[in-house]
Structure 1
Amino acid sequence: MKLSVTCFLLSPPDRLFYLASAPPDPKKGSCLCSLLIAVSMICSIYFVGSAFVGKQYKERLNAWKLIEAVQKSDECKDRCRPSGSVSLPQGIVNEKSNYKMQPLWGSSLNDDNPQPLASLLAIAVGIKQKEIVDRIITKFPLSDFVVMLFHYDGVVDKWRDLSWSDSAIHVSAVNQTKWWFAKRFLHPDIVAEYNYIFLWDEDLGVENFNPRRYLSIVKEEGLEVSQPALDPARSTIHNPITTRTRNSRAHRKILKLKGNRRCYNNSTLPPCTGWVEMMAPVFSKAAWRCTWYMIQNDLIHAWGLDRKLGHCAQGDWTKNVGVVDAEYVVHLGLSTLGVFNGSEVLLSESEEVDRRPQVRTQSYVEMNIFHKRWEDAVNEDRCWVDPYQQFANQTRY
């Protein structure tokens, strides 16, 4: 009966009745019992082995996941992610921008003929210097330069009749300097696509200036910070190093053996070398990134900044900062800031209030504040080493 029941449980359905009703056969019973034992052992081994192998597989899988997570963690740890973009996939992060205008319709996002990298001309302007500014901008081909005007008098619409006006970027803020505008609208990530930044005043004569030839000389000379030389016969000159040297492409230092601030052959500090004036500086994009960080947000006249520009020259400031003689300009020396009172309607000349003396006084105040901040920063930063500190003891004035 036991055999019959066991065989009933193990036998296929079509053999159920036959095996259950068949007379007992000792040999067959022995074979079936042996088969049953073998099957049971196989099943036991299978289930036990499956559990063991499954456990090992899970442990190995977890180990692989851990290794993968560690590798991913190490890989992600080395990523330089812009601040605020951690929650975004890296491929969607666009760190830079520019001033290229886009059409409202009909644009091709896949530009097969992208324009070559341009440079940027940024000028602080007032409507009274409209003719001078027009002559400056006309010298700069729009195929090579993006033009940006900082309107410190609030007048924008009166520029619309000029042929290049609609191609320019116009920014207006009343009674602000170009350094105030530059700190707020020329962030390095915004202008990173431009090779050079021209940050000019509006009172420059450009009859003897060609921007393309100027940049060609700058590149050949390896100048990271530069300015065009000033025509000594027609310019207002505040420092001899900016004076044009005849029969010269560019110069980086001067000799001045009389008067104050004397400069000798071994002088290695500004304003004897490594120095440009602030009315018409030209920066490489690397030098501008450094300079932008140095501009103080609240010191809008930027006096004193010129003596520190060498730290942004991407190397030796006695070599990478210079004045270009072959392409020179005229500095008219117009004092414009402080004359306009800040209203949107331009005053007549008889109604103008001249605040230029107060502007000049404020410039000196800000220069002293900047120098004090520089000294404090140097004393507080234990890790910073001035690469030109060794020159200080060698320099004579």
Structure 2
Amino acid sequence: MMICSLAVGSDGSSSQGPAPGDASHKRFSGMLPPAALLFLVLVFVAGAIVTLHHKETLSILQLQPRRVAADEEPSRPAPPASTAAVTETHIDTTAIVEAPPAEEPANICENQCRSPGSEALPRGIVQDRSNFEFESLGGNPGREKVRRPSKSLLAIPVGIKQKAVVDKLVSKFPAANFTVMLFHYDGAMDGWSDLAWSRRAVHVAAADQTKWWFGKRFLHPDLVAEYDYVFLWDEDIEVDGFDPLRYLDIVGKEGLEISQPALDHRSQIHHRLTARTRRGGGVHRRFYKTEGGGRCYGNSTGPPCTGWVEMMVPVFSRAAWRCAWRMIQNDLVFAWGLDFKLGYCAQGDRSKNVGIVDSEYVLHRGIPTLGDAKKVKPSSSSASTAADRYAVRQRSYTELKIFNKRWKQAVAEDECWTDPYPQPPPPPPPTATPKG
């Protein structure tokens, strides 16, 4: 190892330093070799230790690139250079554990969610959603469409006998804000063509079917996804005290996901919750009854005391209908029992998100139309009509039992579902007091 150097001239003599014969030079030359030798030995040994340690550490890291010391101490500042040569760093190779290998980049194409049936298509070409808006047969279809104004959907099952009532009802709903869809349960579509709004309505005909049958088959959530609200109303509704735009304004401000206009007291009313309150308020969400059967108190948590609407004039938000549509059974057409479960589709607390709008009310006339044999067979007798209506009533009760049974079975079989509205346990039976 080179420690120092002397300048040497071209003739081989040093250009500096004492003369060879100088006495002081002799004394220095006699003392220098032992001290210099000892210093060189120490420097060489220290360098060897540092080099050996560096090579050992490097070899460990090269052989075990993904290992870490389990008992690694917090990092400390490096020792001074003067002591680095004589300090040996200790590495406990027995405490080295295997770290999990680095994850490979995920294949983004493997876990893409695609609609059933669209797996063979490029994603961007799939159009899952639609609407009932009419399109022009001319024009430029490649032109980027102007965003349509917000609209809602009014869907009604109709028969030609109720034409005047339905005309008055539909005329209340502005064309700019509502799309109209008629379900003709008597098949008589031609009799509506003389009405001013008939050409802008969507007409669907199927003999002797209910509005829930129509709704399940023609109001799929993807088809009505562009509408803010779905009005699924009966035909025998008078709307003298109802304004649909004011109604939607109230529903939006109150945050109602499922709602209905209050029923005028002259209506056919099945549950008092849906009747218009005497105080004439804007919205009510619960009913109080402290005497007689079917009592409803302030702490009642479920229908028909709170979180409930009747089925003749329900109004669903887009999200609520997406849930309710799935609850409608394919083979049950009267939807009895469904009204007591609609609160599960309220997108939250049913006692808050379900309500009755008092300021916008309607009159439910309660005209029986289903099972009317005369609308199909004019020569049918009144006896046959009564028999048909009795059969309709009997099937309604049977469907109620079937739906409730299916609900209980579904709850029992779904281990991942938690009921947000658990039923309180029934009270224990009274114990008999022993005589004597």
TM over 0.5: yes
Where in structure 1 are there 5+ consecutive unaligned residues?
1-69
Q: Which residue in the other structure is 1:189 paired with? A: 222
The 3 A distance-change label for structure 1 pair 157 and 373 is same
Distance 1:394 1:200 in 2: 36
SS at match of 2:168: helix
Say whether residues 1:238 and 2:267 are aligned partners.
no
Aligned residue for 2:341, secondary structure, equals: helix
| Alpha-carbon distance in 2 for matches of 1:349, 1:133 | 25
Give the match for residue 271 of structure 1.
304
Residue identity (%): 58
- TM superposition shift of 1:341: 5.8
* Structure 1 segment 109-120 matched on structure 2, within 5 A: 109-111=142-144, 113-120=146-153
SS of corresponding position for 1:241? helix
CA distance in 1, matches of 2:150, 2:143: 17
Deviation at residue 394 of structure 1 after TM alignment: 10
Query: What does residue 329 of structure 1 align with?
Result: 362
Instruction: Tell me the amino acid that sits aligned with residue 223 of structure 2.
Output: I
Deviation at 1:192, TM superposition (A): 0.5
Question: Which one of 81, 84, 92 corresponds to residue 117 of structure 2?
Answer: 84
Residue 215 of structure 2 aligns to a residue in which SS? helix
Over residues 285-334 of structure 1, what are the superposed CA-to-partner deviations in whole Å (9 max), with x where a residue is unaligned? Answer: 10000000000000000000000000000000010011110100001011
Q: Structure 1 stretches (4+) deviating beyond 4 angstroms?
A: 348-352
Greater RCO between the two (CA within 8 Å, min separation 6)?
A: 1
Aligned match for 2:385, one of 353, 363, 367: 353
Partners in 2 of 1:211 and 1:348 — Cα distance?
40
Q: How does 1:1-397 map to 2 (within 5 A)?
A: 71=105, 74-111=107-144, 113-232=146-265, 234-245=266-277, 246-340=279-373, 343=376, 347=378, 353-354=385-386, 355-389=388-422, 392=424
- Deviation of 1:84 (Å): 1.1
| Cα deviation 1:313-360 (Å, max 9, x = unaligned) | 0000010011110100001011110003674xx626867733112111
1:153·1:340 contact (CA, 8 Å) conserved in 2? no
Q: State the one-letter code of the partner of 2:276.
A: R
Q: Note the alpha carbon deviations across 1:100-152, whole angstroms, 9 max, x for none.
A: 11122225542553321210000011100000000110000011000000001
Q: Which amino acid aligns with 1:243?
A: A
Which residue in the other structure is 1:18 paired with? none
For the residue of structure 1 that corresponds to 2:360, the secondary structure is strand
Any gaps of 5 or more consecutive residues in structure 2? 1-103, 428-436
CA distance in 1, matches of 2:330, 2:292: 35
Q: Is the 8 A contact 2:373 2:380 kept in 1?
A: no
Deviation at 1:256, TM superposition (A): 1.1
* Distance in 1 (alpha carbons) for counterparts of 2:356 and 2:328: 22
- Matched-pair contact (CA < 8 Å) for 2:320–2:347: yes
- TM normalised by structure 1 equals 0.78
Aligned-residue offset at 1:361? 1.1
* Separation (CA, whole Å) in 2 of partners of 1:260 and 1:276: 20
Partner of 2:32: none
Structure 1 residue 392: deviation in Å? 3.1
For the Cα contact (< 8 Å) 2:263–2:269, is it kept in 1?
A: yes
Instruction: Name 1:33's counterpart in structure 2.
Output: none
Give deviations 1:176-216, integer Å, cap 9, x for gaps. Answer: 00000000000001111100000000011100000000010
8 Å CA contact retained: 1:148, 1:168: yes
Q: How many Å separate the matches in 2 of 1:189 and 1:125?
A: 24
C-alpha RMSD of the superposition = 1.9
Residue type of the alignment partner of 2:270 = H
Q: Distance in 1 between matches of 2:415 and 2:210?
A: 34
The 2-side partners of 1:135 and 1:348 are apart by: 30
Which SS does the other structure have where 1:183 is aligned? Answer: helix
Measure the CA separation in 1 of the matches of 2:380 and 2:396: 25
Q: Given that residues 174 and 342 in structure 1 are in contact (C-alpha distance below 8 angstroms), is that contact kept between their aligned partners in structure 2?
A: no
Is 2:374–2:380's contact at 8 Å kept on the other side of the alignment? no
SS at match of 1:272: coil
Per-residue CA distance 1:1-30 (angstroms, 9 max, x = gap): xxxxxxxxxxxxxxxxxxxxxxxxxxxxxx
- How many residues align? The count is 321
Whole-angstrom distance in 2 between the partners of 1:281 and 1:393: 31
Name whichever of 357-366 and 181-190 sits farther off: 357-366
TM-score normalised over the length of structure 2: 0.71
Task: Describe the SS at the equivalent of 2:231.
Answer: strand
Structure 1's 348 and 109: CA in aligned 2 closer, same or farther, altered over 3 A? Answer: farther
1:324–1:348 distance in 2 versus 1, CA, 3 Å:
farther
* 8 Å Cα contact 2:255/2:353 also seen in 1: yes
Counterparts of 2:159 and 2:373, CA distance in 1: 9
Q: Partner of 1:364: helix, strand, or coil? A: helix
Separation in 2 of the partners of 1:166 and 1:181?
20
Change (3 A) 1:243 1:172: same
